[in-house]
Copies of this chain bind each other. A is one copy, B any other.
Amino acid sequence: MDADTLAALARLIRAQRAAALGTVRDGLPFVSMVVYAFEPDFSAFWLHLSRLALHTQAILADPRIGLMIAEADDGAKDAQTLARVSIQSEAIVLTQTPPEYSAAKMLYLARFPEAQTMFALGDFDLYRIEPRSARFVAGFARAYNLTAGNFREAAKAE
């Protein structure tokens, strides 16, 4: 992949806050909204989910997930050309054991300081999603299959 495409992927991941989470619920695909944090090297994404939420119940029954980060639509351009990356992976709950938990919590709170109160609640956990395979649509007729290596390369882009 060329440097421009990697930089576009990095911009997309850094610029957005919300993503669409795909799970399987009652045997049907279910898409819900989540907010995400990420490791600086894009090796993992972090979700902070309540066990009371429908998507979390789906993950606890079956950890396979899809996660799409899409450019927010401000109505200015052809909607079909909005950039988006679709990750397919698993969401793995993180045990609340330092130091990994503390590091992930710090990353998450740096991005979402308003989530501090949620960390005090008993029903929330951090879930780790490692991007293994993904599809990146950078714009019209610009689609790429990504590996975990591509994410790491993109993370080096400014």
Contact = CB atoms under 8 A, between A and B. Distances in A.
A128 interface: no
A23 B29 CA distance: 6
Integer count of this chain's copies in the complex: 2
A88 interface: yes
Contact of A32 (B26, B54, B74, B84): B84
Given A72-B72, A72-B74, A74-B72, A66 B17 contact: no
Interface string A71-103: 011110011101010101100000000000000
A65 B73 CA distance: 22
A99 B89 CA distance: 42
B66 A29 contact: yes
What are the 8 closest A-B residue pairs judged by CB atoms, nearest first?
A20-B20, A22-B29, A31-B68, A29-B66, A22-B31, A31-B66, A22-B22, A17-B79
